[in-house]
Structures are given as structure tokens and as C-alpha cells.
Structure 1
Amino acid sequence: MVRRCPWPSAGSAPTVGTSHEGERMDHQREQQPAPVDRVAIDGGRFPEAEDALLRSSFGLGAAMTADAAVDQVTSPLGALHALSLLRAGAGSTTAAEMDAVLGLPAEHHEAMNALLARMESFDGDPGSVDEEDPPEKPLVHLASAVFVPAAGTTGERFLDTLARHYGAGVHEVDFGDPSTAARIDEWVSRETGGRVGKAPLEVGAGTTLSLLTTVYFAAAWDEPFDPSGTFDQDFLLADGSTVGVPMMHGTRTVRYVAVDGWSGLDLRYGQGFFLRLLLPADGSPARWTGQEFLDMAELLDAAEVVRVDVALPRWDHGFELDLRESLAAVGLSESFGPDADFHAIQPGSVVAGAAQVATITVAEKGTVAAAVTQFAMATSAPMPPEARISFDRPFGYQIVHEETGLPLFLGTVSDPR
């Protein structure tokens, strides 16, 4: 039995089966086939559009991590993916607002398709991952789904776009049935390997559509940290106090930048991805704008590799965010207000809820992270190190796809306990 892949095209990467065959067969019976198959688009065909989406992702990440006083983990990719799906049903001034605020180009569906396609070779089953021993080859699983009322009318062109460019599965449900929430939660748990067990938004009789995207990432470090090198070390909190936390230590050859205002490095996973770590100047918050993220990426992407003594805490964080506030902050007031035009989805429908929940675990062997975004609608002998960096105060981080520069996850650590 082969699991239904979120990109149902002939060029899809093979998927990985699990022992839960009966559960998966039930899932396939429940899920309606997409109106059309997804046709993956080769990367590089829309370079300017892909660059615009990259800029959008960092702008979203900055808005979602605006509160540097708390631990935050978000998925800019998950949010951008969900917004792209929603944009497929936007009309008139709502569509214009989304395009202007998010910098979406005319070919944004094609460009998003191409960006997602670049990660297909890393696809796999989150349920197959041993999180205590992350895989040497990174596993990245992206999925999207739309739950629609069986008795209602949902725009065919909207569903066709979701299927053609995103491979979104369509589920017909009765939102008035209490079991529908459990079905959505089961989908969320399955697509995130159980790391997220429940959708962030409640659904009920007043819900007319639920749109979800998931991002799952698991990867071992290119060079794991030796557990014998982990020991307690002081971490400076934002309020000036210190706490003792387990700190991993190791010398790594990495891209490294130290300039006025911040320092940072790229810590590689097995292939294709790295953890970008950003340490603000002492006394400064771990908070940046989207443009600052892009400027830092430009410097780090071009940096020479040097040997660096790294001290990095372990952390295991979860974070839930009401996206309406973040999206309003970037200028999407009409799109998430009562006057939005989503008639192409359902006549008179508006976004009643928008949320994201994400988790991340960073330890000696590697990293495992997952996120769910939901919109609900209603009506050796070492050379001496050339630098030293200790992430012993609040800092920022990103999990980045090397080929595209796209941030799958972006967050801050204010207290790694």
C-alpha cells in the first residue's frame, strides 16, 4: 500500500509506507480525489516570482515572531502555503490587497508550485521517523487539505487551482457533526507524525470550510554534537537574570558572520538544509524585520567558511499563534475582515479564524519540527578555531532550504528550558 502523496503527479517522489495500513486505507476512502492532478513545475522558470515569495516568507516570519520576550517557533513556509491557497479564492480588492501586501506576483501559484517541487525529493512519511535518532537524509513532508461541507457548494475553479498547483486533498464533511473535528485532528496528526495532535481552530455548525497546511522536518546534523560535551552553562534571559541550561559544545567549519549588531552561522544538516543561528548584540532583542532577515541571509550566503567553537543550548518548544493579529499587522486588514471577497470559494464566506501551531526539538543528534496552519471560514585533530560564539542569551534561528533560501521554520529562543 502506497500512501497518498500531497503531490499526486507522475513525477512525485516515492512515499514511505508504515505499519498503519488499515488507518491509511480508511483515510483514502474518506478523502475525495482532487479535481485534477497536481502538475509540478520545474524550479527556475519564474525566478522573479520565486524571489518575491522568498521575500514574503521572511516578512511573514518577522511578523509572526514580533514578541521577542517569549519562545517562538513558527513556519513562514506553512503560512505562505496557506495564504497562497486562500488567494486562489480571493477577488476584487481582497485579491489586490493580498498581492500588494504579500508581494505576490501574477505567477505566484506557478512559482509556489515550483518552490514546493524543489523539496519533493526529501518527501517521506513522518510516521516512519524515530525522533530520538533523526534521519541522515532530511525528511521534509508538506501537505495541504481543504475540508468542505458535503451539502454545500464550493467553487470548482478554486478547488481546481488547489489541486493543480498544490495537490490539496478535498474532504467532504458535515461540520455540524461532532466527529468532524476528530477527523480533522486525525489528518493533522498523521501529516505531522503525531507531533501536532490537534488542529489549532475549533470547527462547528457555523463553519463552512477549513483549510490546512502542514510542514514536517526531521534531520540529523552533518556532524552531531557529542553528548559528553553537553554540560550546564548560564543563559542570560531578556530580563537580565541567568539560568543554568544544558549547552552543547563542538567545533564546526561553518559559514560565519560577525558584524556590528549581530553575529551568526549556518549549522548544516545531512544535505540540503541548515540551521541558521542569529545572535543579536548583547542587550538587543532577538527581533528583526523581514528586510533585515534578507540582508543577513545575503551576508551569510556569501560568507567564507571558518572553524568556530559553538556553544548551543538544547531546546524543545511549542508555540501557538492567532495569525489574524500578525496578518493585520502586515496590512491584510480587508482579507481577514468582514468585507473580504472570497465569493470564488463560497458566496458570502469570510475568514472566521486563522492560527498556526508549531513545535521544534533541537538536540545533540539533530532537529525535528512540525507546524500546522489553519484558516477556518464561516458564511578530527582540530585546527584552532577562527571564532567563538556562544548562544547564551536570546537568539533567533531559521531552518532553511539551501537551494531556494526558503525558511521552513523561523523562531527565537528566549529561555531554552
Structure 2
Amino acid sequence: MVRIRCVGVLLLVVVIGGINAQNVGQRQYPQQFRPGQPLVQSNNRVTPPPQQQQSGQGQATQFQYDTASFAVTELARRIGTVLGQQSNAAVFSPVSIACALSLLLLGADNQTKRELQSVLNFNLNELDIKGVHRQYGRLLRELALTSPDTYPIPWRVNDRCSDDDDEDFAPEPQLIHLANALFVKDGLQVNPTFVDASKGFYNTSINLMDFSGNPQQSASYINQWASDNTYGKINQIVSNYISPETQMIVANALYFKGLWKEMFEKQATTFRKFYPDGHANPSTAKEIPTMAVIGCYPYYDAVEHDAKIVGLPYQGDKTALYIMIPNNSSRSRLQHFQRNLNAQKIGEMVAKMTVRKALVQIPKMKISNTINLRDVLQKLNLHSLFNPATSDLSKMLKPFGPNPDPYYPDRVVFSDSQQQFQQQSQPQQRLYASEIIHKVELEINEKGTEGGAVTASTIFRSLPSVQVRIDTPFLMMIGHDNTRLPLFYGSIYDPSG
């Protein structure tokens, strides 16, 4: 039996210097939402235009995105294009990164706001931006649901493949856990409207910290939060010493655990060659453990992109690992393939997949990444956030003037009066981001041999017509069906690290 565990944690530290802060006090914040509780009913879906079917494949070509899930998938592709030029295994969590940036967007204004909207692909008017926040918050709550999908993936609906070797066992539920937190310096005057919006949209917990008086205890508390919300997989996201200049830490944690729907057999795992720069450069080949299985898998030969896509579903019929690989893949071909992808093309390929009897061979992987996203986001034209002279996160801070509108559980009210932030009794220094650190743990391995185990020779005795051997650079995406959100995404040039 093969088990996959994927964990992503994103840490963003916002630093401000020299503010004369007063105590935040014991303000009573709104009650947190229950998982799945909707803020506003919304069915805003973006549907890519139907494509022509090829070779009888893709009986259903509709793949519906929410505006938010479309934007997050596009963010994944853009970040992946940059990271793929720097790393052999650039795996990250688009959902985790988008969560943290969306929280910053709630508190941003002027140029910083415009740049964040552009990076997040939220290039809409103010009213629509509020709707996207509501929509994105609803999608995040749907991740934890176990009810039947409202918008099933086409290949799940049209599955006509039968596997006589299916094991007789009760499927184990997958686990998706997502948490957002603000760690605020005790005394920083945080805008109640920003607090209410972050809690209402993203169920964010607010924690007052003594960064300057007790930095070690603050670091211990934050690291314990990370450990608790990643089930012990990531135990440290900040050092034992936090700078006294730190005013706020915005953190997001995503934990995913699932079992394959089709079990891999441990006996079939052998050392096979993987070619980090393609078959045309055999001198770069490495012998790595490679798993193999024959079963029913969603598959599409994407001739229009000179590539193939195969899906490995998890138990529970909610998520799948999608592997996209160009024909004759190499480092340069995969980079070219990724540059020419977008969210719509990914959706179209998934929509055209049909379940086929297939041999699938994939590398065992254990990837641990710590990525500083500052340089990556600057390459995506997010500059002002990191510059103390230009960053504008003024909506995070409590304004002078009239009290903000009250908070209601079914709606979030934004103050549109910019004068509240301009009519201050004295100039206030700017909040700016010093670092954006993203940590990911990804593991694909075998655990046990449930059911009647078979030998490797039995597995390869009769090969199906569809054979997918992942032994050259490839793209991977762990997608959640109902929300269309990419939980994890990345380009793999060398699975051995």
C-alpha cells in the first residue's frame, strides 16, 4: 500500500519600526465560523470554452473554475515557472501562498494593493474583489467537507474502466487541514475592520505576542502552532530569536494526507533510471526507487501540447495527483511547456481525461523545501510590499476618526473612506514585509501490502496499451476536485533531491 503525506507551511513576517503603539486591549472578536458555513451564496464560475475532442477521448470537456480557483491555479503556474529555473524539485502550495497574500490584500492600499491584486490575478473592481474574498473563503472551507461533490470532475462521472484486481477494503478518509493565524505585537493598534474581515473570510485566529519583551517565548508559541497544524511534520518556522522590530507575523499552514485509490505493491518497486535532462542526455541518469502499478487511471494524450497527463486518485474521490509530462521531456522542454501553460489549458486537459487501464511508473519521492518567496514575487512585479518607503499596509492599522462599521456574521463591511487613513494626528511609519518563507514537506512512499499481494512478475505479465513511465522531468499538481484548488504544485527535474 502506498501512502502519501504532503505538508505545506507558509510564514510571512511584516516588520515596522518606531511606532508609538498603545495597548490593543481585550477586544471581543467575532465567533469563528464552522467548517463549510457559507458567508454569501455564490456560484460565480469561470468555464473555459469547450474544445474539440480528439481520438474519441474526453467525452466531457467542461471544466468549471471559480474566479478564485482559476486565479490560484494561474498563480501556481506563474510561481512554478520562476522556481523551476532555480531548483531540481520546486514543490510548493499555491493555496497556502494565496491565503497569506490574500490576508495582506485585505490590509493593503494604493500601489501595494494594486500589485497584490495583479500577483493574485484579482484584477477586478472593489466590489468584485470583496466577492472574490468571499468566494475564496468559501472554497477553503469546502476543502474539509466530505459531502458529495457539487461540480464533479468529468473523468469521475464517465469512469467506465473496471479493474478485476480491486482490493476489498473500506476506503480511508483523506485529511485536509488548513489554518490561518495573525501573531500581533502586543500594543500594535490593529484595525478592527481588518481583524473582522480576516476572521470572517479566512477564519484567521488572532494572537497577541510580546515580541520585544519575550522573543523566545513568542518564537516557541509560533513554532508550536506550526507543529500542531501540520501534525508534527514541521516543528519550526521561526528561529528561537524574533527581532524586537517585528510587529506582525502572518502564517498559513496546510496539511494533506491521503491514500491511493489504486494500491501500489511494494514488491514492484525497483531501482530504475531517471533522466534529469531527458533521454537524449543519458550521462545524467540516476538510479532511483521507482514504484509501479497497473490499474484504472484518468489519462489524456494531449497532442495539442505535445504532452501527456495522468491522474492518480486518492481514496474518498475528492483529490488526485496529476502528472503532466511533455513528450521527450528534458529540463528545457519542461520549462518551455510550463511557460506556455495557463489555468485554462490545465483545466482543458483535465476535462478531456478518460479512465483507462494503464501501467504507471513513478519515482518514490521525499522532498523538503524551504523557499524564500521574496525574490520570486518580485519577479512577478510585487515590489512595494518589501520596500519600507513604498509599502502601504495602512488598512491593517487602526484608523483615527469614526469607529468602523459593525461586523455581521453574514457580511463583511469595508470602510471606503480613505480619509480615515489620511487624517492622522501624526505621520505613522509603514508596515512592510521583510521575508516570505515557504516550507513544504512532500513524501510519496509505500506502507504495507494490503489484500492479496502480487509479485513484480505478475504485475508486468500482461501490459495494457497505455503505459506512463515517469522517468524524465515532469509537472505535478495535487488538485481538489470540487473546489478546483491546487493544494500542491511543482516541477520535478530530479526526484532524488
**What is the TM-score with the length of structure 1 in the denominator?**
0.80
Among residues 266, 270, 274, which one is paired with 2:311 in the alignment?
A: 266
Q: How many residues align?
A: 363
3-state SS of paired residue (1:224): coil
Among residues 419, 426, 432, which one is paired with 1:350 in the alignment?
A: 432
Structure 1 residue 296 displacement after superposition: 2.9
Partner of 1:415: 494
Moved more, 84-93 or 278-287: 278-287
Partner of 2:217: 179
Q: 2:223·2:238 contact (CA, 8 Å) conserved in 1?
A: no
Q: 1:34·1:167 contact (CA, 8 Å) conserved in 2?
A: no
| Counterpart-to-counterpart distance in 2, 1:213 and 1:290 | 30
In the alignment, is residue 322 of structure 1 matched against residue 340 of structure 2?
no
Gap change, CA 1:283 and 1:221, over 3 Å in 2: closer
| Counterpart-to-counterpart distance in 2, 1:32 and 1:254 | 53
Moved more, 179-188 or 239-248: 239-248
| Counterpart-to-counterpart distance in 2, 1:32 and 1:290 | 49
Partner of 2:267: 228
Per-residue CA deviations over 1:216-255 (Å, capped at 9, x if unaligned) read: 0000000110111111111112283111111111112122
Gap change, CA 1:349 and 1:329, over 3 Å in 2: same
Partner of 2:166: none
Moved more, 34-43 or 306-315: 34-43
Partner of 2:420: none
In the alignment, is residue 294 of structure 1 matched against residue 344 of structure 2?
yes
| 1:211-226 to 2 correspondences below 5 Å | 211-226=250-265
Partner of 1:252: 295
Partner of 1:243: 286
| Counterpart-to-counterpart distance in 1, 2:228 and 2:190 | 25
Structure 1 residue 46 displacement after superposition: 3.3
Amino acid at match of 1:41: L
In the alignment, is residue 310 of structure 1 matched against residue 360 of structure 2?
yes
Gap change, CA 1:200 and 1:60, over 3 Å in 2: farther
Q: 1:200·1:357 contact (CA, 8 Å) conserved in 2?
A: no
Gap change, CA 1:87 and 1:63, over 3 Å in 2: same
| 1:2-401 to 2 correspondences below 5 Å | 34-38=29-33, 40-41=38-39, 44-48=42-46, 51-65=66-80, 66-68=82-84, 69-104=87-122, 105=124, 106=129, 107-121=131-145, 136-176=172-212, 177=214, 178-199=216-237, 203-238=242-277, 240=281, 241-258=284-301, 259=303, 260-271=305-316, 272-285=318-331, 286-287=334-335, 288-289=338-339, 291-338=341-388, 339-346=390-397, 347=428, 348-364=430-446, 385-401=464-480
Partner of 2:15: none
Structure 1 residue 337 displacement after superposition: 2.9
| Counterpart-to-counterpart distance in 1, 2:133 and 2:107 | 12
Gap change, CA 1:100 and 1:162, over 3 Å in 2: same
Structure 1 residue 344 displacement after superposition: 1.4
3-state SS of paired residue (2:385): coil
CA RMSD of aligned residues (A): 2.7
Amino acid at match of 1:181: A
Moved more, 321-330 or 200-209: 200-209
Structure 2, unaligned runs of 5 or more: 1-25, 48-64, 148-170, 398-427, 449-457
Structure 1, unaligned runs of 5 or more: 1-30, 124-134, 367-379
Moved over 6 A (4+): 380-383
Q: 1:220·1:365 contact (CA, 8 Å) conserved in 2?
A: no
| Counterpart-to-counterpart distance in 2, 1:121 and 1:270 | 14
| Counterpart-to-counterpart distance in 2, 1:312 and 1:401 | 21
